[in-house]
């Protein structure tokens, strides 16, 4: 599997490239401002999780990653409605964000299970 640090970085870059290509409009400006933050936050918070001080801290940081990935999907879906001409590119990013979200949800479940085994 591709290194998640690199993959989350590439996701943020791909989102930024999409945003640069979208036409200027009030809707696009509002949604892209949110999207640029949450999409880049996926990778930033994943990096923070890798430096967690404890298992519980790791899980908490990964929960933030999960929220930011889900939020990225939401704003991509909104942009898709208003930018159907960019549908292929947006759908590719939705697929990648969904794949990342699934990875992080599975990681949280595994980390919780391991934490419960240690404390049980």
- Mean pLDDT estimate for the chain: 95
Look at residue 116 in the predicted model and tell me its pLDDT: 84
CATH number at residue 77: 1.20.1440.60
The total of structural domains in the chain comes to 1
Mean pLDDT of 4-11: 97
Instruction: Dig out the tokens for 94 from the structure.
Output: 């939705």
CA Rg value for the chain:
16
Report pTM.
0.93
Residues spanned by the domain of 102: 4-119
**pLDDT (tens digit per residue) in 32-91:** 999 999 999 999 999 999 999 999 999 999 999 999 999 999 999 999 999 999 999 999
């Amino acid at each position: 599997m591709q290194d998640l640090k690199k993959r989350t970085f590439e996701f943020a870059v791909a989102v930024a490239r999409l945003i640069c290509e979208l036409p200027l409009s009030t809707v696009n400006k509002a949604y892209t401002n949110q999207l640029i933050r949450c999409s880049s936050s996926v990778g930033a918070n994943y990096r923070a999780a890798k430096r967690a001080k404890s298992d519980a801290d790791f899980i908490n940081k990964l929960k933030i990653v999960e929220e930011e990935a889900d939020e990225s999907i939401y704003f991509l879906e909104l942009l898709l409605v208003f930018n159907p001409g960019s549908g292929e590119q947006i759908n590719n990013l939705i697929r990648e964000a969904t794949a990342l979200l699934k990875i992080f949800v599975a990681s949280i479940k595994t980390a919780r299970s391991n934490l419960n085994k240690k404390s049980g």
